Structure formats: structure tokens, C-alpha cells
Amino acid sequence: MNAMPAMPCPNCSETIALDPKALLAGKQIECGSCNTAIGLQESSANLVGDTLSKMDSVRQAIGKAR
Ligand SMILES: [Zn+2]
């Protein structure tokens, strides 16, 4: 299994685990240490969403090949 992506908090540098699907859904994630809310910028959301949709296409293609 892949580890959850993470990034340092912009406020306190504590590592924050990121849930890509939650971010893409427009949710903000709070730092557990200082409660700073972080979220995707719109331009980044488009980039990540495009990548995830391609990954979904790959998974579907794999399923059909069985
Ligand atoms: Zn923080």
C-alpha cells in the first residue's frame, strides 16, 4: 500500500497527512498541531484531478483485460 501523501504545515512545519480525494472534494485539512486549515488552490486541484482521472482510466482498462 502506498503511504498517504503528506506535507509540512506552512505555519508550524508539523507533518500533515493529506487525503487527495478530500482535497479534490474541496475540503480543507487542519493541522493537528496548530489547527491551520490548508486546501488545494484551484489550479492545483485541476492538475491533481486530471491525474486521478487518468489513473481511474488505467484501472478500468486493467479490469476489462481480465
Ligand atoms: Zn501547523
Query: What does the pLDDT look like over 42-54, one tens digit per residue?
Result: 777 788 778 888 8
In a domain, 1, yes or no: no
- Amino acid 13: pLDDT: 95
Rounded Cα distance between 59 and 31, Å, is 32
Give the count of domains, the chain: 1
- Cβ–Cβ < 8 Å for 20, 38: no
Q: 9 CA distance to ligand 1 centroid (A)?
A: 5
Q: 63 CA distance to ligand 1 centroid (A)?
A: 41
In a domain, 55, yes or no: yes
Q: 42 CA distance to ligand 1 centroid (A)?
A: 22
- Ligand 1 (ion): which residues have CB within 5 A? 9, 11-12, 14, 31, 33-34, 36
Mapped onto helix, strand or coil, the DSSP state of residue 39 is coil
Residue 10's nearest CA partner among 32, 28, 40, 31 is: 31
Indicate the average pLDDT of the chain. Answer: 84
- Domain interval for residue 54: 6-64
